[in-house]
Amino acid sequence: GEDVEQSLFLSVREGDSSVINCTYTDSSSTYLYWYKQEPGAGLQLLTYIFSNMDMKQDQRLTVLLNKKDKHLSLRIADTQTGDSAIYFCAESMRTGGFKTIFGAGTRLFVKA
Amino acid sequence: EPEVTQTPSHQVTQMGQEVILRCVPISNHLYFYWYRQILGQKVEFLVSFYNNEISEKSEIFDDQFSVERPDGSNFTLKIRSTKLEDSAMYFCASSESEARFAEAFFGQGTRLTVV
């Protein structure tokens, strides 16, 4: 079945790079995403990548996709305390309509 | 900036009662979705809706759940007879088109507490 796995916690120092990893099982994924959720808030789409791409860069964010290994990563350069949040990896596929499967989320702690 | 609005932000209901969670998607969006997140667990897909009908639903979305677009602006999720395990954060989302599905916007969520 469809599943998305990611580690639960990551702690980095302010100014360092953060790398959050994710693996997924469904090779028919169309899009892969990274969402950010701050405490008590909704889901904010950070970035997404189409499944036929290898890499996408957007300012401090770099997404790498290894389709062969079904591995997705999010690198945040120059991590700031404001980046502390839960980061969800997700994949979507078309089965009639579209549906999105989320990972459990990685809680990023940024130490000053 | 356009946004998806959900009301109420928090709802407390007694077990067995019906609840309606409301969402106002972005005005030119045509595809609508509900997700839920039980505390400490994954965000789970419930249902997608297009052209006044359900286009996809998960196994969670059983007969207790229904969705409706009662007018041109609202999109609602109804739970007929709430159970304790329905307690969760419910997120509504909308997207402009299938081609722009990846750019779905999420609301801030409604926290449902069943007591």
Tens digit of pLDDT for each residue in B16-52?
999 999 999 998 898 999 999 998 888 999 999 988 9
Q: DSSP strand E in chain B: where? A: 5-7, 10-13, 19-24, 31-37, 43-50, 53-57, 65-68, 75-79, 88-95, 105-106, 110-114
For residues B42 and B35, give the distance between their C-alpha atoms in angstroms, rounded to a whole number: 10
Rounded mean pLDDT, A3-25 = 95
- What was the pLDDT predicted at A29? 78
pLDDT in tens, A66-79: 999 999 999 999 99
One-letter amino acid identity for A74? L
| Arithmetic mean of pLDDT over chain B | 91
Residues comprising chain B, all counted: 115
For A100, phi then psi, to 5°, come to: -115, 135
First to last CA, chain A: 40
CB environment A67-93: b (16+ within 10 A), e (fewer): eeebebbbbbeebeeebbbbbbbbbbb
For residues B12 and B15, give the distance between their C-alpha atoms in angstroms, rounded to a whole number: 10
Task: Give the dihedral sign, CA A79/A11/A58/A102.
Answer: negative
- What was the pLDDT predicted at A9? 95
For residues A83 and A86, give the distance between their C-alpha atoms in angstroms, rounded to a whole number: 9
Checking if the pLDDT of A97 tops 70, the result is: no
pLDDT in tens, B38-87: 988 889 999 999 889 998 899 999 999 999 998 878 999 999 999 999 99
For residues B13 and A81, give the distance between their C-alpha atoms in angstroms, rounded to a whole number: 37
- What was the pLDDT predicted at B72? 79
- What was the pLDDT predicted at B62? 94
Checking if the pLDDT of A95 tops 70, the result is: no
Interface of A with B (CB under 8 A): 30-31, 33, 35, 41-45, 48, 50, 88, 90, 92, 95-105
Rounded mean pLDDT, A27-55 = 87
A103–B50 CB contact, under 8 Å: no
Instruction: Select the residue of B44, B98, B108 nearest A42 (Cβ to Cβ).
Output: B108
What is chain B's alpha carbon radius of gyration, rounded to the nearest angstrom?
Answer: 13
Rounded mean pLDDT, B83-98 = 91
**B104 — contact with chain A (CB < 8 Å)?**
yes
Count the neighbouring beta carbons within 10 Å of the beta carbon of residue B65: 18
Report the chain B residue with the minimal C-alpha distance to residue A90.
B43
Better-predicted residue by pLDDT, A54 or A98: A54
Rounded mean pLDDT, A5-10 = 93
Checking if the pLDDT of A96 tops 70, the result is: no
- What was the pLDDT predicted at B41? 84
- What was the pLDDT predicted at A74? 97
Nearest residue to B88 (alpha-carbon basis) of B24, B26, B13: B13
- What was the pLDDT predicted at A1? 62
